Amino acid sequence: MNNISINSDKNYVSTAKFFLMFKFNANTPYDTEAFFAWVFFAILMIVLILKFKIAFLKIRNLSLLVLFTLFYGAYSAQFSKELVIFIMLDVVLLISPLKFLNKTFTIFVILYGTYFRTYWLLIYVCSIVFFYIFNSSKLNKLFKSLLYFGTVIGMEVVYNLLTGNFLSDARYTVNSFRIEDLYTNTIINNPLINNSIVTDFLNFLYGLINVFIPIDGIHSVNEIIYYVWIWVIAILCFKYIKNSEGHKDYKLYFVLAMITIQAFFEPDVGSMLRHQIILIPILLLMLNENTVGQEDKKDRLIYE
């Protein structure tokens, strides 16, 4: 934060500038950082309860709240890109009219992707494509699944044509500097050296499976916590799909898109969990969509 000019990564520079805007600096005490972070956590809780009528006395909502509190304290109660997410989300939820929630949410995704975490722009594009594919009444389940993987391959082809590189190599590039570090015990490495779209796709599948199943085994208690958490997400989403009629909410496809993109980029299990914390308030809004007071359900579908 004191030497922005030495960093060429615009995302880190944007993060530093964001907190400098609040008159913080690199010497700000951690207690002050934590207090600042928990203030915005409290604001988010108040907004979810008062404006969106989230009932935290329900077991499902209370369980998500407990996980949210633990993960937020571990990863977001300090100056970071993760804290920026929740400050921006607070603003979005405060100013958003209920019936236009999905529209303002997509603006938040694009802005965060543009200035703080570039791959969120890929998440946004994928979420739109998945929304159309899986909400189509003209496609059967098998064809929808094929289109899902076709979308992934399409991204790989476009990226390769534009850059000459492979999407899953981003994970390998990060991990190549950490292999000998004894503390990086949850690394997810590509099993294949990329030399074609086929190997890139197989590395993606390996990453996707690792999101849900520890192929390389469990090497720390943190991994156990992560895999319990990710299956909580999966089960809640499956129940939501089962109980929903007709079109599904856009936020479901944001969850699917985030997990899809993480299968390409995330270098380790800890990074996956840290970046997935944003899914908890999104899940709370999605799973309680019938209580948020929207006047017309059709207004929740931003692309219909």
Matching residue, tokens 């992560």: 226
Report helix, strand or coil for 166: coil
Nearest to 225 by CA among 273, 281, 276, 277: 273
pLDDT digits (tens, 9 = 90+) for 84-107: 999 999 999 999 888 888 889 999
> What is the value of pTM for the model shown?
0.89
H or E segment and range at residue 250: helix 250-265
How distant, in Å, are the alpha carbons of 7, 51, 81, 110, 289 from that of 14? 11, 30, 9, 15, 33
Residue 50: partners with Cβ closer than 8 Å, 6 or more residues away: none
> Coil, strand, or helix at residue 1?
coil
Give the chain's length. Answer: 304
Measure Cα distances from 137 to 127, 213, 245, 249 in Å: 18, 31, 12, 15
- pLDDT of res. 304: 42
Greatest extent of the chain over all pairs of C-alpha atoms, in Å: 58
The two tokens of residue 115 are 């200035």
Regions of the chain where pLDDT drops below 70: 176-185, 292-304
Neighbouring C-beta atoms of residue 228, cutoff 10 Å: 10
Instruction: Count CB neighbours of 104 within 10 A.
Output: 15
**Tens of pLDDT, residues 148-189:** 999 999 999 999 999 999 999 988 777 766 666 656 667 888
C-alpha 160, offset from chain centre:
24
pLDDT of residue 94: 93
Dist CA 191 CA 203 (whole Å): 7
Angle between helices 30-50 and 279-287 (to 10 degrees): 10
Judge contact between 270 and 188, C-beta under 8 A. Answer: no
Q: What pLDDT does 302 receive?
A: 43
| Contact criterion met (CB below 8 Å) for 89 and 45 | no
3-state DSSP percent of the chain in helix, strand and coil, to 5: 70, 0, 30
**pLDDT score of 178:** 65
**CA 225 centroid distance within chain:** 17
